[in-house]
Structure 1
Amino acid sequence: MSTLHVALLALVVLLLAAFDRAAGDGISSWTSDFGPRRSLLRDLGGGRSSEIADAAVELNSSTFDAYLGESPARFAVVEFFASWCPACRNYKPQYEKVAKIFNGASAVHPGIIVMTRVDCAQRANGKLCDRFSVSHYPTLLWAPPAKFRNSKWTPGKAGSGIEDIDIQKGRTAQLLLDWINDKLGSSFSLIDEKFANESTLLHNISDPEQISRALYDVEEATVELLDIIFQNKMIKPKTQAPLIKFLQLIVAHHPSKRCRRGTAEVLVNFDELWSSDSSLTGSTEVAIHSEGNKGALDFHICGTEVPRGYWIFCRGSRNDTRGFSCGLWILLHSLTVRVRDDESALTFTTICDFIHNFFLCEDCRRHFYGMCSSVGAPPNNTRKLVLWLWRTHNQVNERLIKEERESASGDPKFPKTVWPSSQLCPSCRHNAVDGDRRGTWNEDEVFRFLGRYYGTSLAPLDKSGGQVSGTEDDVAPTTSAVAVPVGAALGIALASCAFGALACFWRTQQKKRKHKLMKPAEAHY
């Protein structure tokens, strides 16, 4: 290449760099940004390093429908932009300020709105941008996440549930947040602290449909519960059998298909991960193989996106309230309403043994174990099991009402109460007046309510109240129906039983690996 060509090329590079600086994109060096357009875009705006992840989630034609269809957020904003567009680059820092409020576990208000973007300059995204009639950049659209899945949008055409966000008055973070506040009737601020101004925070006092969003919290609680066990090395010879039984219960009746499938994988390979052979481990320790050092997070028991790092239905008004304990109670209730009559006694002993051996809160564990021990005989049908856990939950609440009143440690927005309230289930009491504490319980109605609440209602809903498209596969049938993951299903069907057959299936897998299986632990009463 001649000296003249080199000089001309250098001049072009300098001119392009000067143009981008004048556009306010914050680039310090054009030559550092040669490469794919996506890499270039991630370096623009505020001079941030490309190694710092954006808060807004960048989607493409391959991930758009699946991501939004499965998002736990109540609403979504999608920004359609072009990486070559100076206006888009200038707007990105403003969009990011709002995205940081709502996106991710470290966000101030996680789980309410998911902020996403699509680069229409990428050829692969052309048809996706055409679906939503993108004619200028940036274009912002608003809707419940599921409304975007496999859908189209045309300006001025009603019925899609998708709305255009007008940013022509000014492309600033404050104006975008003002639009969102007007839409939700909220008062979010760019300088909010954690959980501040959450006027859209879910309240589960009187709206039975709000339990639908708890499926995400059940997944979160499941992963956190098992991760505590794995990371704290709580698997010992005497605790293996209670854990195995609980894993079998999850595989058979967990409301999330992802959790059933992931737990089945751990269960089938259990002896390869944690050996119980006394010749290898002695009498007091379990040999942990290389894979057994992992936690539930590493096994992705409920999918690669879990844990999300935040709670939705179980979110408290303070960072130290509700959360895991709420998610664990919902998990236990959702399991009991799904078992059959002939599985009730085994489910009762499984839950009691599991809490007794693995729950680290000593007072909680002791109180729960005491309520298990006070039962004369295990429930012999689903109704008795469901009502036993309901009474147990209310006994815990009654004790905590007194403790939280004395210590002022309760959540002011979610005070403990005898449950369900008359607003949530008016028919659950005979002659109920003046709130929760009057009238006697109508246990037939309570049982029916619990079956609906933790069974059919425990599924993601969109804003319109319908089940989110594409997620029905993640929801197990309610009441006594048996739901198991693919793989375990064949073994269960051949054995002609549900929960108990999982034990047979598991034992068969372990025998193939020539490992010694421990005998099931006896029930504690």
Structure 2
Amino acid sequence: MVNGSGSSQGKMAQRCRRTTSRFTGEKQMHRRTITASAVWLCLSLLFPLAAEAVLYTASDQIILLTPENVDSVLVNSSAAVVVEFYASWCGHCIAFSPVYKKLARNIKEWKPAVDLAAIDCAAEANRKVCMSYSIRGYPTIKFFPAYSKPESTGESITGFPRDVQGLRHTIIDKLENHKEPGPPACPPLEPVSQAEVDSFFETNNVQYLAMIFEEANSFIGREVILDLLQFENIAVRRVLNTEESLVTKLGVTEFPSCYLYYPGNNFTRLIVNIEARTFYSFALQGLPGVVRSGKTPPVPPDVITNNTKEPWRPFSSSRVYMADLESTLHYSLRVEVAAHTVIKGEKLISLKKYIAVLAKHFPGRTMVMNLLTSANSWLQNQTGEEISYEAFQEILDNSGQSPDTALPEAETWVGCQGSQPHFRRYPCGVWTLFHVLTVQALTTRDTDPKEVLSAMRNYIHSFFGCRYCAEHFENMARESVEEVNTVSSAVLWLWSRHNRVNNRLAGALSEDPNFPKIQWPSPEMCSACHTVTQNGDHKWNDNQVLLYLQSYFFFDKILSDYLENEQQILAKQREKHVSKQLALEAQKHFQRKAREASDFMMHPLPTQSAGQEEEEGEEAQDEALADEEEEIGDGAADEIGGKTSEPTPWAKPEMDVGQGHWRAQRKPRFVGMRMRAEQEDIVDLDSFVSQHYRAKASNRVKQRTLQRKEEQEPRPMFGLGMELDAGLGMVGLQPVEADFELGEQTKRLRKRELTGQYYGEELGNRRRWMSVLSIGFSKVDISLCVILYFLSSMCLLAMYLFFKNRLKIRRAKVLP
């Protein structure tokens, strides 16, 4: 075992020396890799359970193999597949996983020709699959050519390099040596001759032919060919420096260099900042007419204006617009958060952190900052475990009407607008918002480097509508956010993850053809941000990127174009508040009326005011009154509906101390008699008299009804006047006649006189004693009192006679 390990270490050292001789400076990188592997190995031995975790997710753009999909991915595939067989507990596998992930992002555009996959052999479900492919150590990388047979176990890549460039070159070598048939999507990688170039446009319908002039051992040409694999209207070929005829014809003096060849034998040199793969690829992908396969070409601005519902707003791609930030806040707080009726637990914590960061770092207008401050203060004072969104919405809508406090409710997208309504907008706004917040935290020298990132991570996890996007972001955060230890590193972390997302979404259906997903900022926007390593690979200059981000997202450079005037926003808010109050009052009034109607249907008797007793038999009297009104007809109702009168003294409003508002005074009650409803100010004498004298006046009521039908006019209306006073002993009630028209008044006065005279004769003999005995009593009540009085008298008389008789009998017995 010792000899074996020593020989393996010797071989590893030989590979390291060969690699170092080939690429300068890779020795130190290899040492760091060995050190990291040793660290991971120790961790896996010390904490085996913690190390047993899946190393790759769907966010890494790597196909995750399982027993269910392994055959469909590896067998008879039209693309070549590179597979890593690993064990999640293996320290070397853990150390290699970041390299493999970076490789997947680096060759993402090669996917039609080659895919990357991985399978965890430590998982019990995958062990049989790994055994079937003769896997005996980890990590193992195998190359599966296109159209592999079911019995194929792949080609092992022994001694594979541990860096992205070395792996990329290894894959290119495999593709060049691929047996027929090769991947259909893979273009020719071999050099071309002048004869092929001269006849190229006769057999190819493209707009450009890009020729990469390079030396024989260079991989730049082949890498650019594969980088442009997914794009139409352009073809890329490599030309060696030994092709003297083409070199002389175009006057090529630098290797590498790129020239564009057009139909008609025209050519020009492609100008880039650095003659390297990344700069060539980016410049060629941005040529006019070059579009991604399957994507519609960019839409001209005038066509966008005609096709979209909203007018196109011209903007500068190098500036940030406050309209985008306010639109993001509106959609975030009034749409996404509103999807949660009750906010509690982790979501409530996320919301508090989100609003706190906004109140602290958002560089908004005064009214918006006032609202965010108010919302933050309200949230921090909530000590319960949950809140309702309805209560939070009251704060967002400024229901308390605090001065100069509002958040615009409209969405006005400018820098984040898309060529179609379903492109960009809110996702673009979220990225822009958090970039601004991280830069603002850096400007204010915030002491907590993870404050903004933690708020963003929690918000996206709890509220962001795209759940797959939230999962991908969480995977990125879980992987590396703990590396952030300064505010400047937080700015760079968010920027690098944004570019990673752009890389993953490039070519997806959600990509706007007018705004392709690129690695931002482009060389045209910030040439100093881009550089190359000694081996020619692209490298970001982090210091220059940080300076560019500070300048781009600095609050003083945020444009206020297309913003709605603050006074208009505040006026709309006040108008909305007033409308809401009116609607609320109307709703309360409707509910009160409905409740009163329901109470009346369930309990016909009205309630007495405090200090009054409910009289027995009142319900029967109400029913009798309703029956009498139906019997008499609708004449009185028509009369009351068509005319108005002065309110009676008891209809005046009085202050209800208990309720704190004005209410109408109640009309007086009389024993055994119930007045009409409170809303009627006129008393119908016919109905009143018929109620109490139905037995004697029924024939006369019929006569009056016939009379009304013959006259075709409303019957007279009477208040409780002198005639009624004479009949029932009620003092101080006056006739109602002030609001009658002059023509009708005369007729009604005559009818009133006739009616008064009739009842005066009927009751004339009993006026005096009735006025004394019947104050507040009806005839029925008086009759009952008389009968009871008579019966009690008879009872007393009977008792008197009984006891008197008994007394006589006893006296008789006493005598001797």
TM over 0.5: no
Radius of gyration: which is bigger? Answer: 2
Normalising by structure 2, what TM-score?
0.29
Compare the two structures and name the one with the higher helix fraction: 2
